[in-house]
C-alpha cells in the first residue's frame, strides 16, 4: 500500500509539471504523431516521430557488402538504437532511420513561434557524440543559434533553455544530426514553455554551448613561430593562416585559454617572414576569446632542450611534437628529398583521429629541415590519409606555373569525422590530389576525387610514371588485392589489373639487377614489409618470387620517387612504431635504407638492404679493437662511451651454437642451428657465409639497427639504453667463436 501511494504521488507530481507546461505551437510535442509544423531536410527524421527506439531488421548501411571489419553482423550493437524510455510525451523526433540506421543525416526545423515563457524545456537523448554540435537541439533567433543542447547519453535527459532575455522574440527549434558514423542518432521531444526550470541542466545566454567563429586576428610575421595554447582534447577547432588572400596553413586542434594550455601548438612562419597575415579559428573552444593567448615568438613555447631531449633520436627523423605514422609522398626534386608523413599535431596520440601531412626536406637524407604542415585538415573537406607524391616533369596535369615543376600529392581523403573509431567506409575512401607549384612549400587541394570510393578498403594510392608505356600508374588497396590503374594526365584513371594481397600501403619500383640497366626487375612492396620481385609492363604485374629483407616493428615503407641513382638503388623510409617515454613526440621514422637487387648463386635475384651510404658523412672518429676469442669469455667494449655509433665486425662461429649480443643492455641473439638473428620481436633468417656472420650495428639514442651479411637482412628496434652497461658485449655458447675486424665509428647528431 505504501508503494502504491508513492507511485500515485509521483504520478500526480508529474501530471502537475506537465499541466504547467505550455504548448509552444501546434504539435510542438509531436502529439499528433506526425511532423506537422516541422520541416525535414535530409534523410534523418524523415520517417516521422517515434514512440520507442527503432529496431533494425536489415543492414541498410550495407556494411557487410562493403566489407567493413565492424559490420552489422559482427557488431550489431553498434548499429542499434536502445529502447528509449523516459520521454515525457508519447511521441518524439528520432533521427535514427529504419533503413540506413544511424548513418542518416539531416535536420528537423520547427515553424517560427514567439517565446511566451521564461524557460523552454524538452527531453533529449543521443548516441556517441564525437564532435560538439553534430548532434544538437538548437534554438534559432534571427538565423543565429542562441542556445544549444548536446545529448548527454542514450537515456532521455530533461533539458531547459533559460530564455528570459529572449522572451517575446520569434524563434525556431532546429534538431541537427550531422553524425554519420556509429552512434549517429538524436531523439528529442516534449518541447514546451515553462515558468520554472524543469531540470538541473539549465542552459542560459552566458554559456549557450553554441558553435562560434572567433574574430580574425591580424599580425605581421616578424617572429619565427606563432604559438597557440592547446589541449589534448578533441581537435574540433579549425585554425587557418591566411597570407596574401590565400589559406597557407590549416590545423585542426583544441584551442584553449593560456592558463589551461596542456601544450603549445605552433605554426612555423619562416616562409612568410615580413608578410601581413590573418589567423582565423572556427570551432568549439570553451574560451571566451580563443585567440587571446596566441603569441609570436622566436621559439616554440613549452619545448625545452629541443632536439636534444633524453631519448630523441639524433640521426632518425622525428616530428618536433605530436604523433606520426605512415611515411607519405617520398619524392625528390631539384636537390631536395621531401619526406611527408601522417601527422597528428594535436598530440592526442590516436591513429586516425586528426590526420595531416607533416613535411620536411633534406639534401642528404639525414639533415632534415622541418617545414610547415603540407596538407592540413579542414572539417568540411575531411582528412588526408596515406598516399604518395610525384614530380610532374612534363606538366601532364597542367598545373605548372613558371619554371618550377609541379609536385603532386595523391592521398586518401576521409570525409569529416567518419574515421574516429571504426574502419573506412566506402564514402570516406576517395583517392584525391593536391599540388604545389613552389617546390612543395604551399599546397592546393583539388576538390573533386580522382577515384571515388568503390569499397571500404580503397586507400593509399601509390603513383609513378612508367617510361616504357608512357603512362602514369596508380596502385591502390582494393578487395584483398592491389588494383592497378593508368592515366595519361594524372586526372582520368582506368583500372587495368590487380594482384592478390591482404596488406595496405603499396609501393612499387624498378631496380636493375647488379646495377645493370639491361637487367630490370620490379619490386612490389607491402605495408607490412613483404616484397615481391617480378615484371611489370605498365598494365600488369607478374610475380616471380617473394622475399623480405627488413624486419622490425615498422610499417608503411615508401621509397623516393624521382631520386638520384634511380634503378641502381632505391632509398626507403618507414614508420618506426616506438615511442620513448616522456618525449613531446610519439613514434618516429626509420633510418633511410637503400635497396638493391643482386644476382644469387642459384640464378635468381636477391633483394639487399643497407643503411643509406650518406650516413658515412656523419662519422667523426674511429676506433679499432683487437680480435676477441669468445671461448675465453665475453668481449666487452667497456671504454666506449659514444652514444651514437656505427660498429662493424665479423664473427667466425667455429662450432658455436648461439651468439649473444648486448648493446647498452639491449639483447640480440643469433641461433646457429636455425640461422635466426633476433633483435627484440624482429627475427630474420641469415645463413653464415663461409662459417662467419658479418654484422653492422648502428646505435641511436633510442633505436638500434643491425645489418647482417652486407644487407641480406636488416633489423630495427626501439630501445631504452642502460648506460651502466657496456656499449657492446658479445659472447657465445659452445664452440670457439672469434670476433674479428672490430671497428666503431662515432656519429654526430644531425641536429
Number of domains in the chain: 4
177 and 28 in a common domain? yes
310, part of any domain:
no
d(CA 376, CA 358): 9
Do the Cβ atoms of 340 and 330 come closer than 8 Å?
yes
Nine cell digits for residue 465: 610514371
CA 170 to chain centre: 45
| The domain boundary residue, chosen from 186, 203, 220 | 203
234, part of any domain:
yes
Could you tell me the CATH number of the domain that includes residue 718? 2.60.120.560
Q: In the 8-state DSSP scheme, what is residue 111? A: P
Do the Cβ atoms of 389 and 409 come closer than 8 Å?
yes
Nine cell digits for residue 428: 570516406
358, part of any domain:
yes
428 and 340 in a common domain? yes
603 and 456 in a common domain? yes
Q: In the 8-state DSSP scheme, what is residue 361? A: E
281 and 192 in a common domain? no
Per-residue pLDDT at 13: 38
Band of pLDDT at residue 427, cut at 50, 70 and 90:
low
Q: Between the ranges 71-75, 292-296, 588-592, where is the mean pLDDT highest?
A: 588-592
Residues near 40 by Cβ (< 8 Å), separated by ≥ 6?
46, 106, 107, 108
Output the CA–CA distances (angstroms, integers) from residue 562 to 88, 332, 506, 559, 666, in the order listed: 67, 5, 17, 10, 38
Instruction: Give the active site residue among 236, 326, 460, 646.
Output: 326
Band of pLDDT at residue 419, cut at 50, 70 and 90:
very low
Mean pLDDT of the chain: 91
243, part of any domain:
yes
d(CA 287, CA 242): 22
Nine cell digits for residue 242: 591566411
316, part of any domain:
no
pLDDT exceeds cutoff 70 at 63: yes
d(CA 431, CA 449): 6
742 and 651 in a common domain? yes
Do the Cβ atoms of 740 and 665 come closer than 8 Å?
no
Tens of pLDDT, residue by residue over 524-541, are: 999 999 999 999 999 999
Could you tell me the CATH number of the domain that includes residue 496? 2.115.10.20
264 and 175 in a common domain? no
Name the residue among 533, 593, 587, 582 with its Cα closest to residue 560: 593
Do the Cβ atoms of 87 and 123 come closer than 8 Å?
yes
| The domain boundary residue, chosen from 611, 635, 664 | 611
624 and 678 in a common domain? yes
Band of pLDDT at residue 619, cut at 50, 70 and 90:
very high
Total number of residues shown for the chain? 751
d(CA 377, CA 251): 6
3-state secondary structure of 20: helix
d(CA 739, CA 629): 6
457 and 357 in a common domain? yes
Per-residue pLDDT at 505: 96
Per-residue pLDDT at 306: 94
Output the CA–CA distances (angstroms, integers) from residue 585 to 58, 352, 554, 589, in the order listed: 44, 16, 17, 11
Name the residue among 146, 156, 157, 155 with its Cα closest to residue 200: 157
163, part of any domain:
yes
Per-residue pLDDT at 417: 47
- Between 369 and 143, the higher pLDDT residue: 369
Nine cell digits for residue 441: 612549400
pLDDT exceeds cutoff 80 at 127: yes
567 and 633 in a common domain? no
Band of pLDDT at residue 130, cut at 50, 70 and 90:
low
Nine cell digits for residue 454: 568503390
Cell 612555423 locates to: 268
Share of the chain above pLDDT 70, in %: 93
What average pLDDT does range 8-23 have in this prediction? 49
**Would you call 667 a catalytic residue per the annotation?**
no
636 and 601 in a common domain? no
112, part of any domain:
yes
d(CA 190, CA 626): 87
Per-residue pLDDT at 78: 78
Band of pLDDT at residue 6, cut at 50, 70 and 90:
very low
- Looking only at the bridges linking them, the beta strands covering 201-203 and 225-231 are unpaired
Question: Which string of DSSP letters, residue by residue, matches 222-264?
Answer: -SSEEEEEEESS---EEEEEEETTEEEEEEEEEE--GGG-SEE
Tens of pLDDT, residue by residue over 659-715, are: 999 999 999 999 999 999 999 999 999 999 999 999 999 999 999 999 999 999 999
| The domain boundary residue, chosen from 579, 611, 643 | 611
Q: How many CB atoms lie within 10 A of CB 83?
A: 11
Per-residue pLDDT at 701: 96
Least confident of 77-91, 583-597, 599-613: 77-91
φ and ψ at 8, to 5 degrees? -65, -40
Tens of pLDDT, residue by residue over 324-351, are: 999 999 999 999 999 999 999 987 655 5
Instruction: Note down the domain range covering 725.
Output: 614-747
Tens of pLDDT, residue by residue over 563-579, are: 999 899 999 999 999 99
139 and 28 in a common domain? yes
Output the CA–CA distances (angstroms, integers) from residue 607 to 224, 339, 399, 611, 687, in the order listed: 44, 23, 37, 14, 15
27 and 147 in a common domain? yes
Per-residue pLDDT at 568: 95
432, part of any domain:
yes
- Between 72 and 362, the higher pLDDT residue: 362
Residues near 267 by Cβ (< 8 Å), separated by ≥ 6?
225, 226, 228, 241, 249, 251, 372
- Between 82 and 108, the higher pLDDT residue: 108
Share of the chain above pLDDT 90, in %: 74
pLDDT exceeds cutoff 70 at 718: yes
Per-residue pLDDT at 425: 61
What average pLDDT does range 205-221 have in this prediction? 80
Do the Cβ atoms of 189 and 88 come closer than 8 Å?
yes
Per-residue pLDDT at 282: 87
Q: In the 8-state DSSP scheme, what is residue 631? A: G
What average pLDDT does range 280-304 have in this prediction? 88
Amino acid at each position: 500500500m505504501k508503494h502504491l501511494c508513492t507511485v500515485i504521488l509521483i504520478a500526480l507530481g508529474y501530471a502537475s509539471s506537465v499541466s504547467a507546461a505550455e504548448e509552444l505551437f501546434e504539435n510542438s510535442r509531436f502529439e499528433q504523431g506526425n511532423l506537422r509544423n516541422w520541416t525535414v531536410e535530409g534523410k534523418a527524421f524523415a520517417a516521422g516521430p517515434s514512440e520507442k527506439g527503432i529496431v533494425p531488421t536489415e543492414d541498410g548501411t550495407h556494411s557487410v557488402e562493403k566489407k567493413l571489419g565492424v559490420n552489422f553482423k559482427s557488431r550489431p550493437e553498434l548499429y542499434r538504437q536502445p529502447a528509449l524510455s523516459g520521454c515525457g510525451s508519447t511521441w518524439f523526433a528520432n533521427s535514427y532511420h529504419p533503413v540506413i540506421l544511424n548513418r542518416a543525416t539531416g535536420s528537423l526545423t520547427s515553424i517560427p513561434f514567439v517565446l511566451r515563457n521564461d524557460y523552454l524545456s524538452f527531453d533529449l537523448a543521443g548516441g556517441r557524440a564525437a564532435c560538439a554540435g553534430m548532434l544538437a537541439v538548437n534554438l534559432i533567433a534571427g538565423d543565429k543559434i542562441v542556445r544549444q543542447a548536446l545529448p548527454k547519453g542514450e537515456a532521455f535527459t530533461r533539458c531547459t533553455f533559460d530564455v528570459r532575455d529572449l522572451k517575446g522574440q520569434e524563434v525556431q527549434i532546429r534538431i541537427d544530426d550531422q553524425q554519420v558514423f556509429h552512434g549517429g542518432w538524436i531523439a528529442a521531444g516534449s518541447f514546451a514553455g515553462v515558468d520554472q526550470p524543469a531540470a538541473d541542466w539549465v542552459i542560459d545566454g552566458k554559456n549557450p554551448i553554441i558553435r562560434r567563429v572567433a574574430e580574425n586576428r591580424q599580425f605581421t610575421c616578424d617572429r619565427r613561430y606563432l604559438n597557440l595554447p592547446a589541449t589534448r582534447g578533441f581537435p574540433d577547432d579549425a585554425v587557418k593562416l591566411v597570407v596574401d588572400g590565400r589559406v597557407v596553413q590549416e590545423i585542426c586542434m583544441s584551442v584553449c585559454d593560456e592558463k589551461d594550455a596542456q601544450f603549445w601548438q605552433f605554426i612555423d612562419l619562416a616562409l612568410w617572414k615580413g608578410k601581413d597575415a590573418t589567423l582565423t579559428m572556427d570551432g568549439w573552444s570553451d574560451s571566451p576569446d580563443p585567440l587571446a593567448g596566441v603569441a609570436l615568438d622566436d621559439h616554440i613555447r613549452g619545448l625545452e632542450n629541443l632536439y636534444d631531449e633524453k631519448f630523441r633520436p639524433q640521426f632518425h627523423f622525428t616530428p618536433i611534437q605530436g604523433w606520426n605514422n605512415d611515411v607519405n609522398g617520398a619524392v625528390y626534386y631539384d636537390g631536395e628529398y621531401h619526406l611527408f608523413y601522417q601527422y597528428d599535431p594535436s598530440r592526442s596520440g590516436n591513429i586516425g583521429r586528426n590526420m595531416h601531412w607533416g613535411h620536411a626536406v633534406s639534401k642528404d637524407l639525414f639533415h632534415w629541415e622541418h617545414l610547415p604542415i603540407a596538407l592540413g585538415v579542414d572539417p568540411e573537406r575531411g582528412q588526408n590519409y596515406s598516399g604518395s607524391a610525384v614530380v610532374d616533369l612534363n606538366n601532364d596535369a597542367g598545373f605548372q606555373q613558371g619554371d618550377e615543376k609541379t609536385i603532386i600529392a595523391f592521398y586518401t581523403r576521409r570525409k569529416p569525422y567518419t574515421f574516429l573509431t571504426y574502419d573506412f567506409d566506402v564514402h570516406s575512401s576517395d583517392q584525391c590530389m593536391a599540388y604545389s607549384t613552389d617546390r612543395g612549400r604551399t599546397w592546393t587541394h583539388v576538390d573533386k576525387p580522382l577515384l571515388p570510393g568503390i569499397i571500404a578498403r580503397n586507400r593509399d594510392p601509390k603513383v609513378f610514371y612508367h617510361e616504357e608505356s608512357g603512362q602514369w600508374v596508380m596502385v591502390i588497396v582494393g578487395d584483398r588485392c592491389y588494383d592497378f590503374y593508368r592515366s595519361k594526365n594524372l586526372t582520368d584513371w582506368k583500372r587495368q589489373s590487380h594482384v592478390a594481397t591482404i596488406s595496405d600501403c603499396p609501393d612499387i619500383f624498378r631496380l636493375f639487377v647488379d646495377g645493370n640497366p639491361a637487367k630490370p626487375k620490379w619490386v612490389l612492396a607491402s605495408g607490412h614489409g613483404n616484397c615481391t620481385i617480378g615484371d611489370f609492363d605498365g598494365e600488369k604485374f607478374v610475380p616471380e618470387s617473394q622475399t623480405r629483407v627488413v624486419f622490425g616493428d615498422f610499417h608503411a615503407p615508401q621509397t623516393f620517387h624521382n631520386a638520384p641513382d634511380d634503378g641502381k638503388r632505391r632509398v626507403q623510409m618507414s614508420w618506426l612504431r616506438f615511442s620513448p617515454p616522456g618525449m613531446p613526440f610519439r613514434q618516429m621514422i626509420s633510418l633511410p635504407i637503400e635497396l638493391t637487387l643482386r644476382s644469387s648463386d642459384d640464378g635468381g635475384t636477391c633483394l639487399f638492404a643497407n643503411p643509406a651510404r650518406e650516413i658515412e658523412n656523419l662519422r667523426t672518429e674511429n676506433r679499432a679493437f683487437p680480435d676477441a676469442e669468445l671461448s675465453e669469455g665475453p668481449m666487452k667494449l667497456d671504454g666506449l662511451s659514444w652514444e651514437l655509433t656505427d660498429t662493424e665486425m665479423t664473427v667466425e662461429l667455429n662450432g658455436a651454437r648461439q651468439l649473444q649480443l648486448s648493446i647498452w643492455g639491449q639483447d640480440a641473439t643469433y641461433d646457429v642451428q636455425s640461422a635466426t638473428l633476433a633483435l627484440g620481436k624482429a627475427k630474420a633468417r641469415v645463413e653464415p657465409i663461409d662459417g662467419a656472420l658479418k654484422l653492422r650495428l648502428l646505435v641511436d639514442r633510442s633505436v638500434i639497427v643491425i645489418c647482417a651479411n652486407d644487407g641480406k637482412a636488416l633489423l630495427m628496434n626501439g630501445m631504452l639504453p642502460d648506460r651502466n652497461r657496456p656499449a657492446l658485449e658479445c659472447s657465445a655458447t659452445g664452440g670457439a667463436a672469434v670476433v674479428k675486424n672490430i671497428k666503431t665509428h662515432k656519429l654526430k647528431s644531425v641536429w
